[in-house]
Amino acid sequence: MGKTPKTPEQQKYEKLEKQYETKRPLLKNVIKAFFVGGAICLVGQAVSYYYIYFFNFTEQTAGNPTVATMVFFSMLLTGFGIYDHLGQFGGAGSAVPVTGFGNAVISAAIEHKTEGYVLGVGGNIFKLAGSVIVFGVFAAFVVALIKTLLIQWGVI
């Protein structure tokens, strides 16, 4: 289906729309997201150092407990209603780190709690985060497959 040229009515409507559309402060939003995301990652780094210093985790192995802890933190913050404000302020800066995953899980669970624990919470808890898991696992599978093949062929 090719693109049909816009009719005069459509062009007129576009003009009208532009008049009423609020302009988004793109640069401001980007800067906010940068700092909020950076702050979350700073906390993550601190948690990682905490695991290295007090427990028997190396830099390599500290990643897994750190991710789990950060998700746990964001779940608590979502439950107390703090993460919503953070997301409102920071936008992508609060959604892109792994804390955004925890927020997506718990907010869906809270939203559907009234529908019951099995069909409500159980059925909807991964409504948003499910795609993250599916594509994460699939992407990891593909990358591992490519790496295994490359090693088998002796490229790397």
Q: How far is CA 43 from CA 48, 50, 81, 82, 89, in A?
A: 9, 10, 19, 16, 18
Task: Give the residue with the Cβ less far from another protein, 60 or 152.
Answer: 60
If one counts every other C-beta atom within 10 angstroms of the C-beta of residue 44, the result is 19
Choice from 4, 7, 22, 56 touching another protein (CB under 8 A)? 56
Interface size with another protein, residues (CB under 8 A): 19
Q: Does 22 bind another protein (CB under 8 A)?
A: no
Measured CA to CA, the distance from residue 16 to residue 10 in angstroms comes to 10
Piece in contact with another protein (CB under 8 A), picked from 80-88, 95-103, 111-119, 132-140: 80-88
Are residues 93 and 35 in contact, defined by beta-carbon separation less than 8 angstroms? Answer: yes
Tokens 């800066």 belong to residue:
93
Q: Does 58 bind another protein (CB under 8 A)?
A: yes
Q: Does 137 bind another protein (CB under 8 A)?
A: no
Count of residues for the chain? Answer: 156
Binding site for another protein (CB under 8 A): 49-50, 52-54, 56-62, 64, 73, 76-77, 80-82
